[in-house]
Amino acid sequence: MADVLNSYILPGRIANPLEGLEQARLGEQLGLSGIVLSERWDSKELGSVMGALSQVTQRVRLIAGITHFGTRHPLVQAGMSATMQMLSGGRFVLGFGRSVPPLFQKLGIPVLNNAGMTDYIDILRKLWAGETVCYNGPAGDYPEMELAQPCANPPPIIIGAVGPKTLALAGAHFDGILLHPFLTVEGVARSVKIVRNAARAAGRDPMSTRIYAIVVAAPDTLTPAQRQNILEARAVSYFMHRQIGQPIVRMNEWDEAPMSRLIETGLSKFEFGQADVAESRRQLAAAVEYLPREWLESGAASGSISQCADRLAEYLEAGADEILLHGTTPEQQGELVAELRHRPL
């Protein structure tokens, strides 16, 4: 089972990305399949960190999980990705997310609709193929552009999704999909069905879209303080945003009332402001009282190492192709990876 195991590095808000280099080295030593980075512009800018990771690892895939549409001109995004393929020896995977509309609108970043996202990745693929792109539509206005050097081995393009429309979009157009943390096993099964059916309807092989189940792993080997940050605070950080939490709740067929009460606290102000990180995480963890314990227990992997491994196996049985561990980082995952290494798929 360890062959389909991936891990985030540098989860959440961090002050210095250098520690991620050692996390990536250790993840490769553990035998992980992929190292995943979620972009934050202040300290985890994608091109900078991924470029460094390409030089301190030799085997693992380097997965952008995620950057966002609209934050880079497509020629810049295509060139950065092609450069990453050269630097990494073809190990780069380009992952996108839909955006956080209220934030992006304040920043002046365009928020693409489904047609715009589809056109954007089509533009990237044409640029990598050496084509000249002349485009005006929902993805922007690009009179004429091309890469001087085509990309011989273009990276797979994946998307983070949880709502039915984006899941279907992934099945029809993308090479892979990152399912959101805190989906239950049943929620993952429902999501997988939507993706596979959409691929089939689009005339694609239903198994052509690689599905990653992102799972927050909080084994008993963690200290109480680590668990509070990794599990409780992280759960609150998702459910305090209606745009993020509501699709998770609906896919899991949960009652929305607890999430609505959490949102009313106004804690979402901590997400993108300049508040002290430790104090922000403490307040988020304290707000977990608004959420049913069932949400944390059924939407994550917790308990003993064996229990965590059992839950990861359940996600694979529900139809996920790969597991992406979140919250913990490679230096905390040795025992879990060792347990999984002895289990068949």
> Taking the model in full, what pTM does it have?
0.94
Q: Which of 4-8, 25-29, 143-147, 282-286 shows the lowest mean pLDDT across its residues?
A: 282-286
Residues 322-328, mean pLDDT to the nearest whole number: 97
193 assigned to some structural domain:
yes
Strand bridging mode 140-145 / 157-161: unpaired
Residues 22-31, mean pLDDT to the nearest whole number: 97
335 assigned to some structural domain:
yes
Is the per-residue pLDDT at 168 higher than 60?
Answer: yes
Q: What integer pLDDT is reported at residue 345 of this predicted model?
A: 65
Structural domain boundaries enclosing 325? 2-65+156-218+304-341
CB 171 within 8 A of CB 195: yes
Q: What integer pLDDT is reported at residue 271 of this predicted model?
A: 58
Is the per-residue pLDDT at 8 higher than 90?
Answer: yes
163 assigned to some structural domain:
yes
What distance in Å separates the CA atoms of residue 12 and residue 155, rounded to the nearest whole number? Answer: 25
CATH of the domain at 334: 3.20.20.30
pLDDT digits (tens, 9 = 90+) for 64-107: 999 999 999 999 999 999 999 999 999 999 999 987 787 888 89
Q: What integer pLDDT is reported at residue 51 of this predicted model?
A: 98
Q: What integer pLDDT is reported at residue 296 of this predicted model?
A: 97
Residues 200-211, mean pLDDT to the nearest whole number: 97
Residue 214 vs residue 15, higher pLDDT? 214
CB 60 within 8 A of CB 91: yes
103 assigned to some structural domain:
no
CB 336 within 8 A of CB 217: yes
pLDDT digits (tens, 9 = 90+) for 180-199: 999 999 999 999 999 999 99
pLDDT digits (tens, 9 = 90+) for 332-341: 999 999 999 8
258 assigned to some structural domain:
no
- Name the domain count of the chain: 1
Element holding 47 (H helix, E strand)? helix 46-56
Paired residues of 161 in beta bridges: 179
Q: What integer pLDDT is reported at residue 2 of this predicted model?
A: 65
141 assigned to some structural domain:
no
What distance in Å separates the CA atoms of residue 52 and residue 56, rounded to the nearest whole number? Answer: 7
Question: Please, what is the average pLDDT of the chain?
Answer: 94
Can you read off the two tokens belonging to residue 221? 């080997």
Strands (E), 71-166: 92-97, 133-137, 140-145, 157-161
CA angle 210, 193, 32 (to 5 degrees): 30
Can you read off the two tokens belonging to residue 147? 């890469």
pLDDT digits (tens, 9 = 90+) for 254-311: 999 999 999 999 887 665 555 566 777 788 888 999 999 999 999 999 999 999 999 9
Q: What integer pLDDT is reported at residue 277 of this predicted model?
A: 64
pLDDT digits (tens, 9 = 90+) for 100-155: 787 888 899 999 999 999 999 999 999 999 999 999 999 999 999 999 999 999 99
Q: What integer pLDDT is reported at residue 187 of this predicted model?
A: 98
Q: What integer pLDDT is reported at residue 211 of this predicted model?
A: 98
57 assigned to some structural domain:
yes
Q: Alpha carbon 84 to chain centroid distance?
A: 19
Q: Which residues of 253-289 are buried (b: 16+ CB within 10 A; e: fewer)?
A: ebeeebbeebbeeebbebbeeeeeeeebbebbbebbe
CB 214 within 8 A of CB 301: no
48 assigned to some structural domain:
yes
